[in-house]
Structure 1
Amino acid sequence: MGLSTLNYNNGTLFICYSYMSLPGIAYLNRHLSWKYLYVWTSVPAICYSLIAYVFVTESPMWLLMQGRVEEAMTMLKVVSENGDNLCSSDLPLEVEAAKQTSSLSELYSSIATLFKTSWALKRMVGVMVVGFGIGIVYYGTPLAVGNLDCNIYLAVVYNALMEILSCVVTYFLGNFKRKLSIFALSLGSGVCCIMCVVVAPVKVWLAVASFFCVCMARNVFFIYIVELFLTRVRNTAMSLARQAMVFGCIFSPFLISAGRKNHVFSYDVFGDVIICSTFVLFCLPETIGMALSDTMDQQKNKETSICDNEGNL
């Protein structure tokens, strides 16, 4: 998990930095119209888009799928340590096949592959349920800070600091079991959400603690998905899991609005949902120490081996 966690956290940290800078921008424009806040927060996005358009290259896989083989090979030679010896015969068979322009049905072949086997369907449904629970707290808790009767600017800064800290702490969870880590962190986040309703004097710090736990659970959850699915369907599985998290975000504003009069409708529901959803993890396999599969045959053999071991036990 070390290298994948480091790569993931490097990108996430910059998002956290922008998240932490948002309260400062909002505070400076607190006496002005909300339109000025939109303008100042849009400027960095415009600059980033221009820089990305100029300096960021296309994906070699995408170029191959578009039939632009020479451009893809040139790019691979630049990033390869042995670029001078790199030729099309060195590419995996899957990449060679991607040279042909994909039809509309082929573009969705990974989704069909993901749902045509029982083990993949079971994993995908379980992952989406867990993702829904994590998402409703991850997106709902920062939005609900206005209901805590505290300084909203400081509350957002605290949440941003917790997300940065979670990225650092997650790196040290490489030797811990994935399922146990996600379960414990999600359970802790849910308990803190419920305690926000019961213990009012310290509800701000309980909300911050809940957000910290759910951030760590989210980080380990994404790495767990990478280890849970084979290479061909991994991106599709990750996309569906993210959509499940965003689907949880859809309900957050309604719960937060109802929670302005009674926190039971916001924080208590957040806690109940994430606690209930995290029990689905017991239906999914543990991935720590397991080699990643690249093909369906490899995964089928691995599933057969797991079933045999469970039967012997």
Structure 2
Amino acid sequence: MLVLSSLIMSLSSLLTAASPSLLVYAALRSICGFGRATVGTSSLVLSTELVSRRWRDRVSIIGFVCFTIGFLSLPGIAYVVRGESWRVLYVLTAVPSVVYTVVVYLVMRESPRWLLLKGRRDEAIETIRKMTAKGRDDMVSCSFSNLGILLEHDESARDTSDNIFSSAKKLWQNRWAFRRLTALMTVSFGVGMVYYGMPLNLGNLSSNLYLSVALNALTELPSSLFVFCLISRMNRRSSTLAFTAASGLFSIACAAMGGGGGWAEMATELAAFFSACTAFSFVLISSIELFPTCVRNSAIAMVRQALVVGGVVAPVVVAEGRRRRVMSFGVFGLVIGCCGMFAVCLPETRGRGMTDTMEEEEFKDGGG
């Protein structure tokens, strides 16, 4: 999925540079967005399933850091080619994606968890052996062979379904999974409204627009670094509650300032955005840890989709805020604050291992 999604995204973006009309341009951008939507989910799930519990949370945050660095590189690239055609910009941003696709295809391994779950024991053993230091591969082969034998005798622990809707069906039919997914999607919707809406709402501030945009872009980097350094010491549920509440309070404070707040107003807005970015990190990490391998990709995709839906609603709120300031910052604060409270419905996942099947997850904590 990662290779295919990245290939669709990169090639459609590269072809956009040769668009002969607006209609072709719009179609290619839609195809690019379709491919891009799965890249983040697939890379996040795959990277966390390839490492041990000790590194899982930090590896997931590294992805957020790289995303931010990539986002920050865009203004630099655009500035360098500011005198050239917009087609040149598309080529320069698409070529690295093409290279990335080739590198992933040649270097990246399939998730051993997923392979083992699908009954492809030999491939799982071979993958782990290639990832293991020399001198320890025999021990790994022996351990996984024993595990594979156990799974062969426990058909309930294997998932050999080829139905593309099987994951969604499992999430819907299991009450504990549906409850977790609903809570996470609700929190994600509120976070998404602020995450996508706050940068759009900067025009409603009294501060310099260019400076505000630059500072907001830079805010994502310290947010990711903050989570990277402290994730192993912080509870997921309470941290999500705390940062969504903080973002809501700072957003409402921005609305109460009524404009003309200068640096204090900008600092308050940055604090609201920082809190939303940090909450976003905790929501995705919780999503990884709350669902087993057989449905993890689908669950995270739905959580991210709820985030995007929040982003879709945000521009409407921003437009209304141009007439009445409280309708932008105030609504952002109330929505993320109220949606964040649904994190109470989630079990704490700090320090726990990942499961592979629905039965294993249900047995582990009694259904969450």
Contact 1:4-1:223 within 8 A present in 2 as well: no
In the alignment, residue 83 of structure 1 is paired with which amino acid? D
Which residue pairs with 1:225 in the alignment? 287
SS of the residue 1:287 aligns to:
coil
Which residue pairs with 1:110 in the alignment? 167
Change (3 A) 1:219 1:150: same
- Which shows bigger deviation, 180-189 or 204-213? 204-213
- Residue 276 of structure 1 deviates from its aligned partner by 1.0
Contact 2:117-2:294 within 8 A present in 1 as well: no
Which residue pairs with 2:342 in the alignment? 280
Change (3 A) 1:257 1:34: farther
Matches within 5 A, 1:145-160: 145-160=202-217
SS of the residue 1:237 aligns to:
helix
Number of residue equivalences: 304
Among 177, 180, 196, the residue aligned to 1:123: 180
Post-superposition Cα deviations, 1:17-44, rounded to whole Å, max 9, x if no partner, equal 1222333344556677765554544443
Contact 1:193-1:268 within 8 A present in 2 as well: yes
- Residue 16 of structure 1 deviates from its aligned partner by 1.2
In the alignment, residue 192 of structure 2 is paired with which amino acid? G
Among 11, 15, 18, the residue aligned to 2:67: 15
Does 1:191 find its partner at 2:243?
Answer: no
In the alignment, residue 62 of structure 2 is paired with which amino acid? N
Measured in 2, the distance between the counterparts of 1:99 and 1:302 equals: 17
Measured in 2, the distance between the counterparts of 1:121 and 1:18 equals: 34
Measured in 1, the distance between the counterparts of 2:193 and 2:147 equals: 41
Contact 2:58-2:231 within 8 A present in 1 as well: no
SS of the residue 1:174 aligns to:
helix
Contact 1:64-1:100 within 8 A present in 2 as well: no
Post-superposition Cα deviations, 1:245-301, rounded to whole Å, max 9, x if no partner, equal 111111122222333333333222211110111121222333335554444444334
Contact 2:236-2:348 within 8 A present in 1 as well: yes
- Residue 238 of structure 1 deviates from its aligned partner by 1.7
- Structure 2: give runs of 5+ residues left out of the alignment: 1-52
SS of the residue 1:255 aligns to:
helix
Which residue pairs with 2:220 in the alignment? 163
Measured in 1, the distance between the counterparts of 2:122 and 2:360 equals: 32
Which residue pairs with 2:28 in the alignment? none
Which residue pairs with 1:255 in the alignment? 317
- Which shows bigger deviation, 123-132 or 84-93? 84-93
Change (3 A) 1:141 1:71: same
In the alignment, residue 269 of structure 2 is paired with which amino acid? A
- Residue 224 of structure 1 deviates from its aligned partner by 1.9
Change (3 A) 1:299 1:146: same
Contact 2:321-2:328 within 8 A present in 1 as well: yes
In the alignment, residue 138 of structure 1 is paired with which amino acid? Y
Contact 2:317-2:327 within 8 A present in 1 as well: yes
Does 1:89 find its partner at 2:145?
Answer: yes
Contact 1:65-1:100 within 8 A present in 2 as well: yes
SS of the residue 2:233 aligns to:
coil
Measured in 1, the distance between the counterparts of 2:286 and 2:173 equals: 21
Change (3 A) 1:271 1:72: same
Q: Give TM-score scaled by structure 1 length.
A: 0.80
Measured in 1, the distance between the counterparts of 2:342 and 2:234 equals: 19
Measured in 2, the distance between the counterparts of 1:76 and 1:32 equals: 48
SS of the residue 2:347 aligns to:
coil
Post-superposition Cα deviations, 1:121-143, rounded to whole Å, max 9, x if no partner, equal 11111111111111111122123
SS of the residue 2:270 aligns to:
helix
Measured in 2, the distance between the counterparts of 1:126 and 1:66 equals: 29
Q: RMSD value over aligned CA atoms? A: 3.5
Which residue pairs with 2:332 in the alignment? 270
Measured in 2, the distance between the counterparts of 1:293 and 1:280 equals: 23
In the alignment, residue 183 of structure 2 is paired with which amino acid? G
Which residue pairs with 1:208 in the alignment? 270
Measured in 2, the distance between the counterparts of 1:258 and 1:50 equals: 45
Measured in 2, the distance between the counterparts of 1:146 and 1:116 equals: 45
Change (3 A) 1:203 1:46: farther
Measured in 1, the distance between the counterparts of 2:76 and 2:328 equals: 26
- Residue 193 of structure 1 deviates from its aligned partner by 1.5
Which residue pairs with 1:311 in the alignment? none
Contact 2:189-2:310 within 8 A present in 1 as well: yes
Measured in 2, the distance between the counterparts of 1:33 and 1:169 equals: 38
In the alignment, residue 137 of structure 2 is paired with which amino acid? G
- Residue 60 of structure 1 deviates from its aligned partner by 5.7
Change (3 A) 1:5 1:70: closer
- Which shows bigger deviation, 283-292 or 213-222? 283-292
Contact 2:252-2:333 within 8 A present in 1 as well: yes
Post-superposition Cα deviations, 1:145-177, rounded to whole Å, max 9, x if no partner, equal 344354444333322322111122113143333
